[in-house]
Amino acid sequence: MIDHRTLRVALLGAGSVGSQVARLLLEHGDDLAERSGASLELSGILVRDLDAPRDVELPRELLTTDAENLIVGADIVIELMGGIEPARTHILTALNSGADVVTGNKALLAAHGAEIFDAADQVGASVSYEAAVAGAIPIIRPLKDSLAGDRIVRIFGIVNGSTNFILDKMDREGLSAEEAQRIATDLGYLEADPTLDLEGYDAAQKAAILASLAFHTEVAMEHVHREGIESITADMIEGARRAGFVIKLLAVCERLPGADGEDESISVRVYPALISRDHPLATVHGGNNAVFVEAEAAGPLMFYGAGAGGVQTASAVLGDVVSAARRHIAGGVGVGESARQSLPTAEIGRITTRYQITLEVSDEQGVLATIAGILNDGGVSAATVEQTVDDEGTARIVIGTHRAREQALSDTVARLAQSDVVERVASVLRVEGE
């Protein structure tokens, strides 16, 4: 048996993910030592409440509320507390005292990533964060390492498990949004503050992290266009189904080539969108995540699996811990983040995609001609038009557009809303994945 050097590992947080990381570190110590070349000694676990009930039984003597004492002297600090403070301060303390850091904290990285990565660069330490995006799915390392020789053009996918669970329940079981949300809450799928999931903040934080990495550009949260699933109704899900689509909350990060005197820019956005039922994303059910990466040389790649869950996410954390341990043993500086390109982030009005517009209209002659005229004046071309009248006598027109610029589309929808023949714009959804 090789006599490995011992590295002290401090764990901050023993919740859903942290308790599983602690368990695996304690149970698989020998295996992890073989893989990392270091004996990983769990030196302590920071918690708020020493007596709080825990899903996993942890040695009582490892629990502590003394952050400073635990962090200073550690070789690797794993931050799994969540939130901004005191997580940010603890990570900066860890880096400044020579430790490598592993974190799953997307909220912190989306808000303070630049500060943390700069601090790591200053001391030559590494900050790893595979667990921060899409739970167990390896997506950060492929973007950072495996695809480092390629040029990423587009990333899009489902990066929030709880909203996917809700939309999937509505689609497959015909539940209302309220019923599906109640089940998600009962199963503990939603964050303590559910608006983080429902209003798309969690997905936007992950999109900001992915775009920063893929396009070598710091992407601030305020530059991520964000729409959540609050407005999605059972009627909209049913309408999508009839038209051969499913509604998914998507994160889209893409390069926009310069055109008509515009510079190359990037677009980072989160919104519920229509996906063809034939598309692989349509078959991502429950709380799972899936991310498509399109790279110039590699072409399209798909990453799929558990986007959350304590033990699943612990797998991603431990992969980072093994890498950090290898770096610590080998010496040399950690591989920093690259923000060399500094591409501007485009307003949502610059994107082009297809749209589906659902209008409630007066059921009389000439309505279609009026609507066609407004579309034509706005430079939006219709690919499909379907008119139905339901049992209550409400006439609906569903227009599928050809690709259009978002700005032209939203101006046109505003004019439709003002038109005498349109009673209500029932929904406007983007169509993605084509």
Please list the active-site residues. 206
Give the other-Cβ count within 10 Å of 408's Cβ: 16
User: Is 16 a known ligand-binding residue?
Assistant: yes
Rounded Cα distance, 151 and 165, in Å: 32
Binding mask 279-308 for ligand NDP (x = CB under 6 A): -----------------------------x
Does residue 52 touch ligand NDP according to CB under 6 A? Answer: yes
Minimum Å distance from CB 316 to ligand NDP? 8
Minimum Å distance from CB 196 to ligand HSE? 7
Which residue type does 40 have? L
User: Is 46 a known ligand-binding residue?
Assistant: no
Task: Please give the residues from 151 up to 170 whose contact with ligand HSE meets the rule CB under 6 A.
Answer: 160-162
Task: Please give the residues from 121 up to 140 whose contact with ligand HSE meets the rule CB under 6 A.
Answer: 135
Binding mask 125-144 for ligand NDP (x = CB under 6 A): ------x---x---------
Rounded Cα distance, 57 and 390, in Å: 58
Name residue 360's beta-bridge partners.
Answer: 396, 424
Match 């004996």 to its residue by tokens: 39
Does residue 191 touch ligand HSE according to CB under 6 A? Answer: yes
Does residue 313 touch ligand NDP according to CB under 6 A? Answer: yes
Rounded Cα distance, 419 and 397, in Å: 14
By a kind-dependent CB cut-off of 5 to 8 A, residue 18 interacts, out of ligand HSE, ligand NDP, none, with ligand NDP
- Tell how strand 265-276 and strand 299-306 pair up: unpaired
SS3 183: helix
Segment 373-381 long-range contacts (CB within 8 Å, at least 24 positions apart): 374/412, 374/415, 374/416, 374/419, 375/399, 375/401, 375/412, 377/412, 377/415, 378/408, 378/409, 378/411, 378/412, 378/415, 379/404, 379/405, 379/408, 379/412, 380/355, 380/404, 380/408, 380/409, 380/412
Does residue 44 touch ligand NDP according to CB under 6 A? Answer: no
Minimum Å distance from CB 172 to ligand NDP? 22
Q: Identify the helix (H) or strand (E) that includes residue 39.
A: strand 38-46
Count of residues that bind ligand NDP according to CB under 6 A: 24
Tell me which DSSP letter residue 73 carries: T
By a kind-dependent CB cut-off of 5 to 8 A, residue 75 interacts, out of ligand NDP, ligand HSE, none, with none
Among 75, 130, 199, 202, binds ligand HSE (CB under 6 A): 202
Of 45-53, 139-147, 267-275, 391-399, which segment contacts ligand NDP by CB under 6 A? 45-53
User: Is 191 a known ligand-binding residue?
Assistant: yes
Kindly give the residue spans of alpha helices, DSSP state H, lying in 134-252. Answer: 140-141, 161-173, 177-186, 195-198, 201-215, 234-242
In the bound state with ligand HSE, the residue whose beta carbon lies nearer, of 166 and 371, is: 166
- Tell how strand 288-295 and strand 76-79 pair up: unpaired
Residue whose CB is nearest to ligand NDP in the complex, by number: 15
In the bound state with ligand HSE, the residue whose beta carbon lies nearer, of 99 and 308, is: 308
By a kind-dependent CB cut-off of 5 to 8 A, residue 160 interacts, out of ligand NDP, ligand HSE, none, with ligand HSE
Give the other-Cβ count within 10 Å of 151's Cβ: 12
User: Is 13 a known ligand-binding residue?
Assistant: yes
Strands (E), 80-144: 100-103, 127-128
User: Is 299 a known ligand-binding residue?
Assistant: no
By a kind-dependent CB cut-off of 5 to 8 A, residue 197 interacts, out of ligand NDP, ligand HSE, none, with ligand HSE
By a kind-dependent CB cut-off of 5 to 8 A, residue 411 interacts, out of ligand HSE, ligand NDP, none, with none
User: Is 18 a known ligand-binding residue?
Assistant: yes
Contact indicator for 340, 40 with CB cutoff of 8 Å: no
At 255, list the tokens.
């390069």
Does residue 105 touch ligand HSE according to CB under 6 A? Answer: no
In the annotated binding site, the residues are 12-19, 106, 191
| Interacting residues toward ligand HSE by CB under 6 A | 135, 160-162, 191, 197, 202, 307-308
